[in-house]
Structure formats: structure tokens, C-alpha cells
């Protein structure tokens, strides 16, 4: 393998020289999850879930061959630990699989160190850091006999597409970006001291349109003026495009003045609680957007990491939610929240056209990076 394209250059450049026969290995992993445990029905990632039924009678000999032929990881290398009906793997298991040389243990924290990757888990936490970018997990980091555990959902739906985006199965070959400025018309969105969210969303989106076109992409705007478009209309516009990704642009608000920072949302995977309602039970039905779980998190990672790196806002993390606009879209889709209009400092920054221009350029560069990262084989 020639190395993985990073989703965010200068920050994440992991190269995992372990899998030449990646398709074969993926099938082996899938069989591991079938064999070692009662596999939850919601695991649909490119890593673990087959699109079609796999005949284990011929897979197992292939796994055995791969192990003996190249001594890469085998199905046996994933040891599933089930806690309260949820499946987990240990930190050392993950380190071994990705050939991460150092796994340091300090109190409740586990730090993975690779020449181009630093990943930090803390037992009990619902966030992890990958190269200093914050990610919200579907399930908290757990503990078993002193070992830190990550859920197989987060392994499949977050870790793998983020550290190895080029392994995403059949990624979309897109040339179009559907840009969705949130709100509009009578729906003003958040109210800042100097302006409405709907207007900042539209201005940033128009700047993003130009920036993307300069980089060779086609663009489609769900609105180009101050009009109200129902969410269903935005979803239909996105789904009408064949080779497209979708980026919804918003700005945030809250009751207080202190909340600050940028957050980027991808659709919550099936069977998990969303970041917005972590105490709620997992959503068990499949949504249109779930077929894009791996690409959704990869796109969110690229955009979020670029903005955090380029503009240095407070990092509120990459989050999962089932916003209506993300639920129905069958394309890779994210919702970007570019800061709080209720925070005077951030509101002033968002009000500055130069800041919005830098944000647009940063997001456009992230889209280029995403295309290269998932498209490379
Ligand atoms: Zn909004």
C-alpha cells in the first residue's frame, strides 16, 4: 500500500503499511465479527459490513492464506468484549491492527503514537482526540480489567474512515458540491447583535461557491437569495444531483454569551444515540444518509480539521446528529456550524467579511483534500 491520503495535511498523515490485499482483509474482518460475537445489525461500515451475504466456507481459507502468506492481521486479531450488550475492542488491539508502535498508559489516558499520528483516549470520556482534533464518540470509552475499550461502532464508523480514508468502500466520485445556506426568508435563524444567521450563512455559502468553482468543482445552491426553502426541498435538490456531496452552512446560538467554537456534524450511525441527545436510546432504523456513514465522517473530519487549523477557533468537535436535513440525503453530507452569534467576540468575527472569506477558502481546500483522500486507491 502506497500510503493513505491524509484528510488534513500537516496534522494527519498516517501510513499503514499493512494491507496489500485490502479487499480480502476487509472480508476477513467481516467474518471475524460474524464469528466472534453476535454482531449487531447496525454495523454497516465499509470495514465490517458486507453489502451482500458472505459465504464463510470460502472466506476462512482465504484468511488463513493471508495470515500465512503475509503475516498481516487476521480475523483472529479482533477480540470482542461485550459489555451491556455493546461490543468493544481494546486499545492494544487497535494499536496492533494499525501497526501503531507506541501505546502509552497514564492514569485513565491512553496515547497512541505513530510517526504521523497521535490519538488520545480517556476512559469514561465521550470524546477522543486524533492529532489534536476533537471527535465525539457514539459510546464512551469503556474499561475492562484496566484496559481501555472502544466500541466496534466507533472503530468502524469513526476511527477507520478517519485514519484510512482511502479504504472507504466505493466512495462517491463527485464533481459537484451542493451548498446549503441554512434558514432564509422569514426563518432568520440565530440573531446576532449585528445581523441574522440566515444572512451570514448565505454570504459564507456564496464565497464557498466561488472558492469551489475556482478549484474546479460544479456547485448547486439550495438558495442564492433571502428566501425560505423547506428542509424537504433542500434534501430533494441534493438527491437530484448524481455526483455530489452536500454541505449545509449554519451559525450557532445559545442562551448564554460564553459558548464558543466551531462544530461539524455528520449523521449519527444507525443504532447510536446522537451527540445532541446522548442519554436517549439508539436510533435503530436505517436512514438514507447511513449508507454514507464512512464518507460523512471523513468529509466532516476534513472540513473541521481545516477550519480548526486555519482559523484557530475553539474546537467543539466533530459531532453526530440526526438533523432533518442530513437524514434524507443519500450523498456524503455534513452540517457546519461556524461559531456562536450569541458570543460577542465570535459574532464580531463572523461579521467580518475577511473572516468569512478565509472560512470559505478553508472549507474549499478541505473538499479538495477529501476528494483526493477517499478517491485514492
Ligand atoms: Zn442554523
Q: What pLDDT tens digit does each residue of the chain (377 aa) get?
A: 333 346 765 433 333 333 222 332 332 233 233 222 223 222 333 333 333 332 222 322 222 222 222 222 345 678 899 999 899 999 999 999 888 989 999 999 999 999 888 999 999 999 999 988 999 998 999 999 999 999 999 998 999 888 888 888 888 899 999 999 999 999 999 999 899 999 999 999 999 999 999 999 999 999 999 999 999 999 999 999 999 999 999 999 998 999 999 999 999 988 777 766 554 556 667 787 888 999 999 999 999 999 999 999 999 999 999 998 999 999 999 999 999 999 999 999 999 999 999 999 999 999 999 999 887 54
What domain range includes position 44?
Answer: 22-163
Whether residues 232 and 309 fall in one domain: yes
Whether residues 157 and 269 fall in one domain: no
- The secondary structure of 269-327 as a DSSP string is PTTS--TT-TTSPPP-S--GGGGGHHHHHHHHHHHHHHHHHHH---EEEEEEE--HHHH
Spacing, Cα 193 to ligand 1 middle (Å): 16
Whether residues 197 and 336 fall in one domain: yes
Spacing, Cα 65 to ligand 1 middle (Å): 53
CATH number of domain containing 52: 3.30.457.10
Total-model pTM: 0.80
Spacing, Cα 183 to ligand 1 middle (Å): 6
Instruction: Answer yes or no: is 309 within a domain.
Output: yes
CA distances from 261 to 89, 182, 253, 256, 349 (A): 32, 18, 11, 13, 11
Spacing, Cα 260 to ligand 1 middle (Å): 15
Residue 47: its pLDDT value, please?
37
Spacing, Cα 212 to ligand 1 middle (Å): 22
**Cβ(329)–Cβ(238) below 8 Å:** yes
Domain end (from 163, 185, 201): 163
Which residues have C-beta within 8 Å of that of residue 146, sequence separation ≥ 6?
A: none
Spacing, Cα 295 to ligand 1 middle (Å): 23
CATH number of domain containing 319: 3.40.630.40
First to last CA, the chain: 9
Whether residues 324 and 195 fall in one domain: yes
Whether residues 193 and 143 fall in one domain: no
Instruction: Answer yes or no: is 51 within a domain.
Output: yes
Spacing, Cα 11 to ligand 1 middle (Å): 29
Whether residues 94 and 192 fall in one domain: no
Domain end (from 140, 163, 186): 163
Residue 62: its pLDDT value, please?
28
Spacing, Cα 26 to ligand 1 middle (Å): 39
Spacing, Cα 338 to ligand 1 middle (Å): 10
Whether residues 157 and 286 fall in one domain: no
Spacing, Cα 313 to ligand 1 middle (Å): 18
Whether residues 80 and 159 fall in one domain: yes
Distance of CA 282 to the CA centre of its chain: 18
Instruction: Answer yes or no: is 203 within a domain.
Output: yes
Strand partners, 134: 129
Residue 147: its pLDDT value, please?
95
Whether residues 129 and 203 fall in one domain: no
Whether residues 57 and 96 fall in one domain: yes
Into how many domains does the chain fold? 2
Spacing, Cα 241 to ligand 1 middle (Å): 23
Whether residues 94 and 224 fall in one domain: no
Instruction: Answer yes or no: is 10 within a domain.
Output: no
**Which residue has cell 479504504?**
167
Spacing, Cα 263 to ligand 1 middle (Å): 12
Instruction: Answer yes or no: is 255 within a domain.
Output: yes
Residue 370: its pLDDT value, please?
94
Spacing, Cα 262 to ligand 1 middle (Å): 13
Q: What does R_g of the chain's alpha carbons equal in angstroms? A: 21
Residue 355: its pLDDT value, please?
98
CA 284/CA 264 separation, integer angstroms: 23
Domain end (from 163, 192, 227): 163
CA 94/CA 108 separation, integer angstroms: 17
Which residues have C-beta within 8 Å of that of residue 219, sequence separation ≥ 6?
A: 176, 177, 178, 179, 209, 212, 213
Whether residues 309 and 331 fall in one domain: yes
Instruction: Answer yes or no: is 12 within a domain.
Output: no
Spacing, Cα 103 to ligand 1 middle (Å): 40
Spacing, Cα 336 to ligand 1 middle (Å): 9
Spacing, Cα 197 to ligand 1 middle (Å): 7
Instruction: Answer yes or no: is 169 within a domain.
Output: no
Instruction: Answer yes or no: is 232 within a domain.
Output: yes
CA 228/CA 231 separation, integer angstroms: 9
Amino acid at each position: 500500500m502506497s500510503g493513505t491520503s491524509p484528510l488534513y495535511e500537516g496534522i494527519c498523515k498516517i501510513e499503514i503499511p499493512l494491507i496489500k490485499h485490502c479487499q480480502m482483509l476487509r472480508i476477513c474482518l467481516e467474518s471475524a465479527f460474524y464469528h466472534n460475537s453476535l454482531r449487531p445489525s447496525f454495523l454497516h461500515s465499509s470495514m465490517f459490513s458486507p453489502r451482500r451475504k458472505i459465504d464463510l466456507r470460502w472466506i476462512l481459507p482465504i484468511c488463513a492464506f493471508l495470515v500465512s502468506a503475509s503475516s498481516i492481521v487476521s480475523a483472529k486479531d479482533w477480540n470482542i468484549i461485550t459489555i451491556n450488550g455493546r461490543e468493544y475492542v481494546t486499545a492494544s488491539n487497535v494499536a496492533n491492527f494499525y501497526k501503531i508502535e507506541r501505546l502509552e498508559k497514564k492514569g485513565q489516558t491512553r496515547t497512541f503514537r505513530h510517526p504521523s499520528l497521535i490519538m488520545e483516549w480517556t476512559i469514561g470520556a465521550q470524546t477522543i482526540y486524533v492529532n489534536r482534533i476533537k471527535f465525539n464518540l457514539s459510546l464512551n470509552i469503556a474499561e475492562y480489567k484496566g484496559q481501555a475499550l472502544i466500541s466496534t461502532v466507533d472503530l468502524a464508523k469513526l476511527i477507520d474512515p478517519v485514519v484510512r480514508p482511502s479504504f472507504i468502500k466505493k466512495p462517491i466520485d463527485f464533481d459537484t458540491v451542493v451548498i446549503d445556506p441554512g434558514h432564509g426568508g422569514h426563518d432568520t435563524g440565530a440573531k446576532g447583535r449585528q445581523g441574522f444567521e440566515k444572512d451570514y450563512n448565505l454570504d459564507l455559502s456564496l464565497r464557498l461557491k466561488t472558492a469551489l468553482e475556482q478549484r474546479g468543482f460544479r456547485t448547486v445552491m439550495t438558495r442564492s437569495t433571502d428566501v425560505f426553502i423547506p428542509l424537504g426541498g433542500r434534501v430533494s435538490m441534493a438527491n437530484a444531483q448524481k455526483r455530489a456531496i452536500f454541505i449545509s452552512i449554519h451559525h450557532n446560538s445559545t442562551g448564554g454569551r460564553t459558548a464558543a467554537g466551531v462544530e461539524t456534524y455528520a449523521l449519527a450511525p444507525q443504532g447510536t444515540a446522537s451527540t445532541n441527545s446522548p442519554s436517549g436510546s439508539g436510533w435503530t432504523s436505517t436512514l438514507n444518509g447511513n449508507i454514507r456513514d464512512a464518507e460523512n465522517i471523513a468529509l466532516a473530519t476534513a472540513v473541521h480539521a481545516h477550519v480548526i487549523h486555519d482559523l484557530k477557533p475553539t474546537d467543539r468537535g466533530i459531532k453526530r446528529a440526526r438533523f432533518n436535513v442530513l437524514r434524507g440525503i443519500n450523498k456524503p453530507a455534513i452540517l457546519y456550524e461556524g461559531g456562536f452569534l450569541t458570543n460577542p467576540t465570535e459574532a464580531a468575527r463572523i461579521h467580518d467579511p475577511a473572516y468569512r472569506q478565509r472560512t470559505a477558502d478553508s472549507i474549499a481546500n478541505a473538499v479538495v483534500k477529501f476528494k483526493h483522500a477517499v478517491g485514492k486507491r
